[in-house]
Amino acid sequence: MTADRTKRTCLAVILAAGESTRMKSSQSKVLHPVANRPMIAHVVDALAKAGISDIALVLGRDAEKVEAAAGNVAVQSSVHIQTERLGTAHAVLAARDTIAKGYDDVLVVFGDTPLITETPLIAARSGLADGAEVVVIGFHTADPTGYGRLLVENGELLAIREHKDASEAERAITYCNGGLMAIDGRKALDLIDRIGNNNAKGEYYLTDIVEVVRAAGGRAIAVEAPEEELTGCNTRAELAVIERLWQQRRRHELMIDGVSMIAPETVFLSFDTTIARDVTIEPNVVFGPDVTIESGALIHSFSHIEGAYVAADAEVGPYARLRPGANLGAGSKVGNFTEVKKAEIGAGAKVNHLSYIGDAFIGAHTNVGAGTITCNYDGINKHVTRIGADAFIGSNTALVAPVTVGNGAYVASGSVITADVPDNAVAFGRARQENKEGRAVLVRERNQAIKDAKKKAAK
- Of the candidates 329, 294, 322, the one whose C-alpha atom is nearest the C-alpha of residue 308 is 322
Exposure string of 149-182, with b = 16+ CB inside 10 Å and e = fewer, is: bbbbeeeebebbbbeeebeeebeebebbbbbbbb
CA gap 330, 323 in Å, rounded: 18
Q: Phi/psi of residue 110, each to 5°?
A: -115, 145
Please pick, among 32, 80, 300, 353, the residue that the annotation labels catalytic.
353
Bridge-partner residues for 387, per DSSP? Answer: 362, 405
Question: What sign results for the dihedral spanned by CA atoms 83, 88, 89, 95?
Answer: positive
Nearest to 95 by CA among 165, 25, 15: 15
* DSSP E strand stretches across 185-311: 220-224, 260-261, 274-275, 280-281, 286-287, 292-293, 298-299, 304-305, 309-310
- CB burial of residue 75 (10 Å; 0-12, 13-18, 19+): middle
Please report how many Cα atoms fall inside a 13 Å half-sphere around the Cα of residue 412, on the Cβ side.
10
Handedness of CA 243, 245, 87, 132 (dihedral sign): positive
3-class state of residue 39 by DSSP: helix
SS3 content of the chain, % helix, strand, coil (to 5): 25, 30, 45
Specify whether the CB–CB gap between 309 and 57 falls below 8 A.
no
337-341: long-range pairs with CB below 8 Å, 24+: 340/308
Look up 32 and say whether it is catalytic: no
User: How far is residue 93 from each of residues 11, 13, 15, 293, measured CA to CA in Å?
Assistant: 13, 10, 11, 46
For residue 192, which amino acid is it? I
CA distance 135 to 223: 7
H-helix or E-strand containing 89? helix 88-92
Cα separation, 110 vs 80, in Å, equals 14
Q: Distance between CA 51 and CA 38 in Å, rounded?
A: 21
Active-site amino acid positions: 353
